[in-house]
Chain A
Amino acid sequence: MGEIWEGLSAGFWLVVTLDADLVEITLRSLQVTLSAVVIASVIGLPFGAFLAIRRFRHRRATIAVLNALMGLPPVVVGLVVYLLLSRSGPFGVLGLLFTPTAMIIAQVIIITPLIASIAHQAIRDIWAEYHDLLISLSTSKRQRIKTLLWDGRRALITASLAGFGRGIGEVGAIMIVGGNIDNATRVLTTAIALETGKGDFALALGLGFVLIALAIAVNLAIHTIGRTESEGKW
């Protein structure tokens, strides 16, 4: 109990004093995960919608694989990305290993299946609901997809937020491909792992509380924006 209390107060002091290192790694955490979420959403949301609407061969198999990929162990993703980006790997010439870009790549791989899968379920439900109406109104394929994405936007935001949640708290993959380099690739989760390793539980816990607060703040912010944007419309 004492350590949790110390952690809370350590976290509190880090925040109120706007500790320079804390600000830096927090911003980097946000930068890496938000970039990954944006890229994964651009890929995953339309892909999920596509899976919900279009019928094609191996569709069921594709969905099964997608759902399985949701549980992809980040450490494995990290290791594979590491081997691909290593100087002696196929993409070594790019020199991306141990950079934030490498961390973004790993996180995109981890969260895209999650976002696509949730988007697929959400769009599938709306499509089942709207199917007859949209056919009856002689809408074009493009109009249908546009309508479903727009009317499903709340569920899609939830999908992206789920991706954010998985990304911001992820440590296994970014530790391996980022290397937890001070001032270059250290983020909240890898810093927590580092401080835990040093036995400095209070600081580790303090960073953990900052991480939780950050995740909550981002969720609240996005829900608030979503509501004000659509007030009066829906």
Chain B
Amino acid sequence: MIRIFAVIFTVLGSAAWAESLKLAVTTSFHNSGLSDILLPAIKEDTDIDVQLLVVGTGQALRLGEAGDVDAILVHSRAAEEAFVAAGYGTRRREIMYNDFVMIGPADDPARIGEAGTAADALALIAQAQATFVSRGDDSGTHKKELSLWDASGATRGGDWYRPVGAGMGAALNTAAGMDAYILADRASWLNFGNKAGLDLLFAGDPALFNQYAYIPVNPGRHAHVKADLAIALEDWLTSDRAKELIDNYMINGETLFTFNATNPS
């Protein structure tokens, strides 16, 4: 019996960190690798252990609503504003943006490389009925994709449209396996290890910009959240130190994120 309790206490003990903050982030942010740069710097400057919960935007918002995390860092403006309006978060603070890119088979059968806008590119895919993998998981990337489809006016559905209900990496694996088109964030794409026959085919449309915002969970609703730490983290994320690290983060010589923190909106 004593041994059992010893084991339990060891486990409980290891769970109790000194100054830790739970932050729900999106898979696309985590897959970019930027967190590996930022977290050690945050620890160094503020002594906060940021524990990342890597989930889709939809689940990140749910975690915030339930009070299971102290803050969220996501990229889906409409949902974020609704979250703050409903009183779950104290305010929405824009931090940085990156962009989405359209990935597809290197020989580009739907000719989206020649499209003028992202919406046109999707329309071409629909026209060619080329296989398209959708995240289908209510994530920020998924929401962006849906808004682009709406803008394109094309009808999707049928055999060629494949919602996989998975994270960015898993969806990219699926696209690689099926030689399909897919909308991905640039960072996830650059860091993705299993590119197979896929290539970056379309990028640069301002409609593809992807704004990340930070929202501390409202301590008025959930008294246990670490509001002080959440504010300290917000201050750090909007600081010059963060700007420098974010703007200088590169993969294969490409800049991924642009720091654009503003005053609270």
- Whether B194 contacts A201 by the Cβ 8 Å rule is yes
For residue A87, which residues in chain B have a CB less than 8 angstroms away from its CB?
Answer: 66-68, 222, 224
Nearest CB of B to A48, in Å: 18
Is there contact, CB below 8 Å, between B15 and A101? yes
Task: Give the A-B pair count, Cβ closer than 8 A.
Answer: 91
Contact A100 B68 (CB under 8 A): no
Q: Which residues of A contact B27 (CB under 8 A)?
A: 197
Q: Which bucket holds chain B's interface residue count? A: 35 or more
Question: A95 to B11, Cβ gap below 8 A?
Answer: no
Partner of B169, one of A32, A86, A95, A199: A199
Name which of B49-57, B78-86, B202-210 contacts chain A.
Answer: B49-57
Identify 4 new A-B residue pairs, CB closer than 8 A, beyond the known A31-B10, A181-B51. A38-B4, A86-B68, A89-B66, A184-B51
User: Which residues of chain B have a CB within 8 Å of any CB of chain A?
Assistant: 3-4, 7-8, 10-12, 14-15, 17, 20, 22, 27, 31, 49, 51-54, 65-68, 167-170, 172-173, 176, 191-195, 222, 224
Assess the A201–B193 pair: CB atoms within 8 A: yes
Q: Which of B17, B52, B53, B169 contacts A198 (CB 8 A)?
A: B169
Interface of B is mostly: helix
Provide the bound-state CA to CA distance between A97 and B225, in Å.
Answer: 13
Q: Chain A residues with Cβ under 8 A from B167's Cβ?
A: 197
List B contacts of A86 (CB < 8 A): 66-68
* Cβ contact of A196, chosen from B7, B53, B173, cutoff 8 A: B173
Given contacts A39-B4, A92-B67, A198-B191, contact A104 B224 (CB under 8 A): no
- The 10 A-B pairs with the shortest beta carbon distances in the complex, nearest first, are A197-B169, A199-B194, A87-B67, A199-B193, A99-B15, A88-B66, A181-B51, A200-B193, A179-B53, A199-B192
Most chain B CB neighbours (cut-off 10 Å) among A99, A179, A197: A197
A69 to B67, CA, bound (A): 31
A98 to B69, CA, bound (A): 9
Give the shortest distance, in Å, between A168 (CB) and chain B (any CB).
Answer: 15
Per-position contact with B for A180-208: 1 when CB-CB < 8 Å, else 0? 11111000000000101111110000000
**A101 with B11: CB separation less than 8 A:** yes
CB distance from B229 to the nearest CB of A (A): 15
Contact partner of A98 among B53, B173, B192, CB < 8 A?
Answer: B53
Give complex CA distance A38, B1 in Å: 10
